[in-house]
A and B are shown apart, each in its own frame.
Chain A
């Protein structure tokens, strides 16, 4: 058990809290999201937001904001057939995969990890990621729960540390980096009920992943 402190909170317009906060502060959504993603109540109280689920200063509401985006950003969001694109089925994949979701302090910079069948979210997830970034993280970590570890070392020049483990070998490996980048890319290309700024931020992040997280560059770029 650790005790940590809410870090300085980025501008809420910029991270999407101003936009998504009022949307996710909806009892039906809150009840559904809590149940569908296996929120473990022992891990979301004591300052993490259980007592105040609409307070976007706190981790729980900021997680709900990312989940709202994940669930409603396709024009026809209700069409979540696996044969559709990840903007549609990403939400289904995430909620099917996660049945134990916990919030923890972490080391102050850590974002998230999938471990022993659960997903742990840390302060970095809540306070350094914008709403699309949180959705991407849930997709990425859910892929790990699907039994797909990273299988390669980061390439020369990678921001994640050339030669270190943690990369995916190729795009076709269909690993966590591919899932995350593909989600961001679709959000950029066809995301609805959002802003052009958040879509552009998603494009920049997806390009970063494409450039740096595959041992063999996929060979394309998002313009």
Chain B
């Protein structure tokens, strides 16, 4: 593979990026740690059998759920604080276990105060946003346990409503409403919410097909964009015939 063809070299005006410190080789990993890593790999595969392998990996973790949750919590704790993708994946696995052994870890995460914003420009990047996503994922995991009838999980959801985060409250309210008797608890939940956030009780779970779309998006092109007339990307190998685009002919260059 070679870089894209370029025709000119501009004078140096840009920044330089230097290699980082190589990550340390993994230290000895426990047997359950191997299962967690296998689960992460299966969870992030797109092979035809990926979902089956992921469910099988979850099943193996579930067989030793208490140990698995300790391992997941330890791995999440050991992640670099800003490694939000890996931390999220570990929380997602814990939530996906749908096992009571995961409840203390998930509950503790949700109830841990979100650290103060680390970013000077939270519109561009917000550590509070990333920390919140970890917690809403945990709330959803607790919600799944609550829907299965776990009383402790149901009580935890009510605790979560008191958290000072709109998204955590939203996720908790949605999970409570999804439990068998959730709808009957509306007044109790409303009393826990600040007045200006009681609208959370009225939010509608929606399908993307049912919400307003962008009408005639080409209206929103810049003048330059309207003139661009860029060409579409090459078709994927083996899918050209499905595309049925005369003149396109599918990929003309093989992957190198």
Task: Given A47-B18, A145-B225, A200-B92, check contact A78 B235 (CB 8 Å).
Answer: yes
CB distance A204 to B133 under 8 Å?
yes
Q: Chain A: which residue is nearest B133 at the CB level? A: A204
Task: Given A195-B50, A204-B133, check contact A96 B4 (CB 8 Å).
Answer: no
**A162 CB → nearest B CB, Å:** 9
CB < 8 Å A-B pair total: 342
Task: Given A50-B3, A51-B3, check contact A207 B17 (CB 8 Å).
Answer: no
CB distance A208 to B13 under 8 Å?
no
Q: Which A residues are in CB contact (< 8 Å) with B221?
A: 93, 96-97, 146
Task: Given A14-B40, A42-B11, check contact A208 B132 (CB 8 Å).
Answer: yes
Q: Of the candidates B80, B122, B137, which one forms a contact with A204 in the assembled complex, judged by CB atoms under 8 Å apart?
A: B137
Task: Given A16-B44, A19-B44, A212-B166, check contact A221 B16 (CB 8 Å).
Answer: no
Query: Interface readout for B189-210 with A: 1 if CB under 8 Å, 0 if not?
Result: 0000010110100111111110
A197 CA to B43 CA in the complex, in Å? 6
**B174 CB → nearest A CB, Å:** 6
- Is the CB of B126 closer than 8 A to any CB of chain A? yes
CB distance A159 to B129 under 8 Å?
yes
- Is the CB of B31 closer than 8 A to any CB of chain A? no
A219 CA to B253 CA in the complex, in Å? 47
CB distance B4 to A35 under 8 Å?
yes
User: Could you say which of A71, A72, A82, A223 has the most chain B C-beta atoms within 10 Å of its C-beta?
Assistant: A223
CB distance B4 to A36 under 8 Å?
no
* Interface set, chain B 115-153, CB cutoff 8 A to A: 117-130, 132-133, 136-137
CB distance B12 to A42 under 8 Å?
yes
Query: Interface readout for A106-124 with B: 1 if CB under 8 Å, 0 if not?
Result: 0101111100010000101
CB distance B137 to A46 under 8 Å?
no
CB distance B220 to A195 under 8 Å?
no
- Is the CB of B6 closer than 8 A to any CB of chain A? yes
Task: Given A96-B228, A220-B205, check contact A53 B233 (CB 8 Å).
Answer: no
CB distance B45 to A27 under 8 Å?
no
A2 CA to B14 CA in the complex, in Å? 8
User: Could you say which of A1, A4, A10, A72 has the most chain B C-beta atoms within 10 Å of its C-beta?
Assistant: A10
- The number of chain A residues touching the other chain, given as a range, is 35 or more
CB distance B220 to A174 under 8 Å?
yes
CB distance B124 to A43 under 8 Å?
no
Q: Which A residues are in CB contact (< 8 Å) with B136?
A: 204, 207-208
- Is the CB of B255 closer than 8 A to any CB of chain A? yes
- Is the CB of B85 closer than 8 A to any CB of chain A? yes
Q: Chain A: which residue is nearest B119 at the CB level? A: A109
Task: Given A166-B123, A195-B44, check contact A91 B220 (CB 8 Å).
Answer: no
- Is the CB of A33 closer than 8 A to any CB of chain B? yes
* Interface set, chain B 82-131, CB cutoff 8 A to A: 82-86, 88-89, 92, 117-130
Q: Of the candidates A9, A28, A207, which one forms a contact with B252 in the assembled complex, judged by CB atoms under 8 Å apart?
A: A28
- Is the CB of B41 closer than 8 A to any CB of chain A? yes
**A113 CB → nearest B CB, Å:** 7
- Is the CB of B238 closer than 8 A to any CB of chain A? no
A82 CA to B169 CA in the complex, in Å? 36
> Can you list 18 A-B pairs with a CB-CB distance of less than 8 A?
A4-B18, A25-B256, A30-B4, A32-B233, A41-B6, A109-B125, A128-B84, A147-B222, A156-B196, A159-B132, A160-B129, A189-B207, A196-B51, A207-B136, A207-B167, A208-B167, A211-B166, A211-B170
**Residues of chain A at the chain B interface (Cβ within 8 Å):** 1-11, 13-16, 18-19, 25-36, 39-48, 50-54, 57-59, 71-72, 76-78, 80, 82, 85-86, 89, 91-93, 95-97, 99, 102-105, 107, 109-113, 117, 122, 124, 128, 130, 143, 145-148, 150, 155-161, 164, 166, 171-172, 174, 178-179, 182, 185-186, 188-190, 193-198, 200-201, 204-205, 207-208, 211-212, 217-223
